[in-house]
Every structure is written in structure tokens, then in C-alpha cells.
Chains A and B, each alone.
Chain A
Amino acid sequence: MKRIVKSPWILCFLVLIIVILVAFNIPIEKRKYGLAQSGMTTDYTGLLPEHVDRVVKATNRTDLQNIVKQANLEGKHISIAGLQHSQGGHTYYKDGIVIDMRTFNKVMEVNKQEKTVRVEAGASWEDVQKAVQPYGLALKVTQSQSIFTIGGSLSVNAHGRDIRFGPMADMVKEITLLTPKGDIKTIRKNDALMGYVLGGYGLFGVILDVTLDLTDNELYTIHTNKMKTSEYESYFKDVQSNAEIAMHYARVSVAPSSFLDEMYAIDYYKTGKYDQKTKLKEESFVHLTKYSLDMGRQGGFLEDLFWNTQNLYMKQIENSQITRNNVMRSESTFMEFTKPGKVEVLQEFFVPVGEYGEYMKDLKQFLPANDADDDFKIHNITIRYAAKDKTTSLNYAKEDMLGLVILIQHGLQEDDVQNAKKMIQKWTDITLTHGGTYYLPYYPYQTKEQFKESYTNWKDFKDEKQKLDPNEVFINNFYQNYLK
């Protein structure tokens, strides 16, 4: 100690160490959003602030039943919220009651023999992964990140990187549902109600718990391929017919010099080995990835640089091995965006696999390659496969589709929002001409007509809603916007 204090150089070294430690531990600022009774309630984008009557934390089934029965008697409205990553006010309604499901999060049972898990709806996919991983099990279908709640993901009928197990709805074995009349009901695969609850955006009752089919936590080898966008359609058909590939996704360049021309695909090849020991991966190199993405967000040559960096990373991960569970828990913190006056939103468009090539040609005509000076900026396009869905009523995949998940930034001034609306409505029109649809968990830039054209079954969905919930107990901004 005496020596340390005596020498300025040792003190200088100590400062250097502290600086490095601090620099690597500076946290990433996260978006502020969520449920509030005193202020305005928002979801992830903060675009639709609304006053709610009260927020009720879900604790037990009887209390929830009482709230629903009371709401029927008093003409009150209820919305259901999990982690609120939907972006169109799906989790709240003006002056309504919000049931916060995050406290309803127990993993109730893991059945190793039957390969199933029973879990309360407020648990996150991460909670499920932690519970099933020690048994060598993994989810069949889930999003690429594990930060969402089970109830939330099922209510939007999410999809991810799996290309073999069909839509998320197909892995649901059983649901315990609190109905709009306040009854608790068990619904099973092939029950008609299942198709309304899954992808039902919380309008048919509260999902209390679900039993999900699981599969083995297989070990995969990653193979990456860079290609022209025009080559992807046939590439993907080869992927589909290659039984050795279990999971797949792709990314399209949004960099000016290769805008919508270049892509890379990531395929997860089966190794035949199963894993019980590999730890679930945690977020790593968050600052590095966050600042790389921030660089890409500047547009122009920096976006080219970011694309080239991603290509280098793809070469790095070639031939590396990863477990199924870890494929399904990608990092998310690096995407945080808190620039004042701006917002980043998601949109997703689905087109039939056979339409992809022509669709991308049309998009190239429509979108500017360099958006550095524009308010409406595209930062990322990821391609996911969405298998034909025969279960849900508001169905976005009437046939095998490719989903383009798009990360968009725009301003918050009225003009900027209107411009974004105009762009996204035009984009939706292009999608519809190719027999496509758009995804409903996001901010409703689209018109009611575009909704009806995309979801031709909307009338049946609305009729069933009115039949099962005549008092409109379960309601949210999504219902108000598209179905009221």
C-alpha cells in the first residue's frame, strides 16, 4: 500500500485500470415505457400514451375471476399486459383496467417423458428455457429473443428461426383460459376457440397457463452464406428441402452500396448431438454491438461499414456450434434506442416464398438506397420463415411465407409520423399486390382497408369476439383501431 501511494506511475496505472473497468461497465440507456396509473401508460415505442383507470397485478386466479365478473357488471374494460413489447396499444385501453401478468410467472411442471412444460402466462421464454434446459429440452418454436412473456407471444402468434415445427400455435397443447364471462376453461389442440385465443391479441380472455410441446436441445453447426437477393428464393427452397437444416434466418443489406442487392443467410445444421450441459448464453459485447448498430444508424458510408462488419462477423461464426436453446435467445439490449425526438419501430411484411424475388425488385424501386438525410430510415431487414398456419383466425400465413422484419426510425413530429404512415401504407400496398400480409403487433400505420384485405377472416374474428364477449370486457387500442 505504501509503495502504491509513493509512486505516481503506480497510481497512474491504477487510474488506467479503473477507467477501463468503468468504460466497459457503462450501462446502455433503456427506453422508458410501461404501466402507470398516475401518468400515461405506453408500450415499448411510447407512441400511444393513454390514461388507464388502474393497474392490477395478477396474483391468483380467484382474484382475476372476480375482476372480470365485476367488469361485466360495471361495464368496465380490461386489457392484458405482459412485458409490453407490442407496439400498437395492445396492452391497454383508455380509462380501462390493465391486468399486469408479469407476477403470474411460475413454471409449473416440466415433463421430461412427454417433453412438455406447463407454465403461467406471465413467465418469459427465458424463465422457460432456464427450467427446461437442465432436462436437455428446448422449445419448438419461439422468437429469436427470450425477453417476451409466453402470454404475449402466443397472443400475437409469434414466429422465429425454426423452420421445421410450423407456427407457434402448433406447439400449444393446452391453455387454461379465463373467459370474458369470468369462467376458467381448459382448451385443447383442435378446439375451435384455440384459433381465436392464439393470435387473438388478448381479446378472448386471459391466458392463465399453457402446456407447450418441447423438443430436444440439439447441438447445431452454423453455416453462413452470402448471396445476391435474387438468388435467395431458390436458396431458401433448397434449405427447406434439406432435412439436415433445423433453423434458418437471413439478413438483407440496407447499406447504400448494396441496398437490397446483397444478403447473408444463417443455417443451423443438425449434428445429431444433444446437449444438457452448455449454459444458456448471456448478453456479451453489448457495448460493441450497440455502437456498431449506432454507427449503421447514421446511414451513408457508415451503414456500408456496418454491413461489412456484419459480413466479417458471419465469417467468424462459420462452423461454430450452438445449442437450440441458445439460438432462441439472441441479444436484445444492443438495440436500445433513446434518441430524443426519434423513435424506432418494427414492421413485418409477409410474402409467399415464391413471390420473394419479384417483391424485392419492387421494393428496390420504391425505397431510397441512401436514407442518411431522410427522416424515415431503414436500419435492418431480417428474413424469417413463417410456415402455413391452419390454426389461427387472424392468420398472417395462409401459405408458406417469408417474413421481412424491418427496423425503422422516424421522427416524432406530426409531419414525420404522417410521412412514415404514407411510406408504410405504400409498402403495405406493394406487399398486398404480391399476395402478402403484414403483422399486427406493431403500430397501426396501415388503414382499415389494408387490414381487411390482409386478414380476410376479420369478420369471423369480430363475430366470434362479439359472441363470446358481448360486453366488450376485453378490449384494447388494437381492437379500437381495427375492429370497432
Chain B
Amino acid sequence: MKRKWNRLIPLIITVGQVVVFPYYVIWLKGVSLTFTLFAWLFATHSFSAAWGYRTFQTKKNKQKSHISFVYFGMGCAYLVVGQFNIEMDLLPYIALILQVLLGFLQGYFRAWHVEQDSYHLHAVNHYILVGWIMISLSFIKIISPVVIISMFGWLLCGCGLLKMLGKNVSN
């Protein structure tokens, strides 16, 4: 059972990231005052993801991945998005920090994930699940993006907790 969960969590996370992406983009568009800033925020995410990816790749002891903290970190970032009022003056700056954090953690997570045995199996399931979930979400007309983002944040924190508990039990 424990092993099954450990195999499933990365799938939940990759699917969730894609599903939450359109909602996150809506939020980010609202925060960015111009298209230039919007594009620059994406660029920041991309560079940070490269940094995160490379950080894992160059890690000497890959068994000590701290992946549960990565889940927590991503979860907290999404929860922060859900907590801030869209009208706040400082939101673009907060979004910038979140883009760095999310980029780094997502890059790190991806680098870790590709080295897992289940990665190739996940890839197929990932595409199918995303397709079904997006069709389902299209029927939900009135929902604030921050609700979905926050829900995903809690889910990630839950995954982090499960992963941590699983690790403690095996120890």
C-alpha cells in the first residue's frame, strides 16, 4: 500500500501541475500589469526551473532527495497565491518570488522524477488523466482560480506529509 502511494504521488503532482496551470496563468495575468511583465515572469520561472533541475542533477547523494520538502514548498507557494488579494500593490513582487520558488522546485522535482522507475508509465497516465480532468473542469463554470490553486496547494502539502510519514515508517 505504502509503496503504491509512493509511486502514485509523483503522478498526482505532475497531473495537478498541468491541471492547475490554466488557473495559475489567469492569476498571473491579473497580477502582471503588462504583457512584458507577464512574459518576464514566465522567463524567471523557466530560468529557475533550469537551476532547480541542474541542482538535483549535480547532487552527489541522489537517495537523499528531500522530495517531501519539495512537495511542501510547492504546496505553500500555491497556498500563498490563494491568500493574497488581487488588488494588493505588492502582488507583482510576490508573484516574482513565487515564480522563482515554483520554478526551482518544479525543475528539481522533474529532475528527480525522470530518474524514478515509474516515470515512463506515469507519462502515458499523465496525459490521459489530464485530458479527463480538464474536460470535467470545463463543466464547472463559476469558480475562482485561487480556489483551485489553493486546493492544489493543500493537496501538495498532503502529499508532502504522506511522503514524510512513509519515510519515517520505513526508517
Contact = CB atoms under 8 A, between A and B. Distances in A.
B89 A26 contact: no
A354 to B, nearest CB: 43
B10 to A, nearest CB: 22
B93 interface: yes
A372 B145 CA distance: 34
Contacts of B58: 7-8
B125 interface: no
Contact of B44 (A12, A18, A339, A340): A18
Contacts, number: 56
B89 A5 contact: no
B44 A26 contact: no
Q: Which of A7, A8, A14, A294 has the most CB of B within 10 A?
A: A8
Contacts of B34: 27
7 contacts: A7-B54, A15-B47, A15-B51, A15-B104, A22-B40, A26-B92, A339-B87
Q: Which of B37, B55, B58, B92 has the most CB of A within 10 A?
A: B92
B73 to A, nearest CB: 16
Contact of B37 (A8, A19, A22, A339): A22
B100 A27 contact: no
Contacts of A27: 33-34, 37
Contact of A26 (B37, B48, B87): B37
B87 A340 contact: yes
Task: Give the size range of B's interface with the partner.
Answer: 20 to 34
B54 A26 contact: no
B37 A11 contact: no
A29 interface: yes
B87 to A, nearest CB: 5
A308 B79 CA distance: 38
Task: Give the interface SS of chain B, mostly helix, strand, loop or mixed.
Answer: helix
A21 B44 CA distance: 10
B41 interface: yes
A438 B93 CA distance: 41
A23 interface: yes
B43 interface: yes
Interface string B90-111: 0011001000100110000000
Nearest to A17: B47
A11 B54 contact: yes
A14 B34 CA distance: 23
Contacts of B36: 25
A36 B40 CA distance: 31
A26 B55 contact: no
Interface string A1-42: 000011110011011001101110111010000000000000
Interface of B: 33-34, 36-37, 40-41, 43-44, 47-48, 50-51, 54-55, 58, 87, 89, 92-93, 96, 100, 103-104
B50 A19 contact: no
A25 B40 contact: yes
B44 A11 contact: no
Task: Give the interface SS of chain A, mostly helix, strand, loop or mixed.
Answer: helix
A294 B92 contact: no
Given A22-B37, A22-B41, A27-B33, A11 B50 contact: yes
B96 A23 contact: yes
B43 A18 contact: yes
B154 to A, nearest CB: 27
Given A27-B34, A29-B33, A19 B51 contact: no
A5 B51 CA distance: 8
Nearest to B48: A15
Nearest to A6: B54
Q: Which 6 A-B pairs have the closest CB atoms?
A: A11-B51, A8-B54, A8-B55, A26-B92, A22-B40, A27-B33
B100 A19 contact: yes
Given A19-B96, A23-B96, 12 more contacts: A6-B54, A11-B54, A18-B44, A18-B47, A19-B100, A22-B41, A23-B93, A25-B36, A26-B93, A26-B96, A27-B37, A339-B89
A27 B96 CA distance: 13
A29 B93 contact: no
Contacts of A29: 33, 89
Contact of A15 (B37, B40, B89, B100): B100
Contacts of B103: 15
Contacts of A338: 89
Contact of A22 (B50, B51, B89, B96): B96
Contacts of A14: 47, 51
A340 B85 CA distance: 11
A25 B35 CA distance: 12
A8 B51 contact: yes
